[in-house]
Amino acid sequence: MVYQVIWQYFIASQMLPAVYSTLKLTAHVSNNKKLEVKASGKALKSRGFLDVLGINDQNKIEIPFLNKGDKLNLFGSNPVRMEKKQTQPSPRFSEDKLIRE
């Protein structure tokens, strides 16, 4: 069992990487250029080493193809929520968590 896993990862390390088609979208609000909406998606083009490891990646791009300057209606069945996010530091261990681990 262990030998089989080592062999699979060795073979996978010699194969081509998985290739993805990615798409990023940045839309600015027409009456306020400081506000922007970002979205991204990816789709698998070539499986590469994922075949050997048996990893199923079912990600698909769910963003329609757009041209620069196109106007979007973002208030349909799934309205856009505006959130301001900041990078969060990694959580620290408390004494309780260290004892449990």
pTM of the model: 0.52
CB contact set of 55 (below 8 Å; sequence gap of 6+): none
Angstrom distance (rounded) from CA 39 to CA 78: 14
Check residues 8 and 94 and name the one with the higher pLDDT.
8
Beta bridge partners of 36: 28
Query: What's the whole-number mean pLDDT along residues 22-38?
Result: 79
Q: Where are the domains of the chain?
A: 1-70
pLDDT tens per residue, range 44-100: 888 899 988 988 877 776 667 778 878 777 666 666 676 777 887 777 777 777 777
Beta bridge partners of 25: 39
The alpha-helical segments, DSSP class H, found in 40-94 are 50-53
Q: What is the pLDDT of residue 80?
A: 65
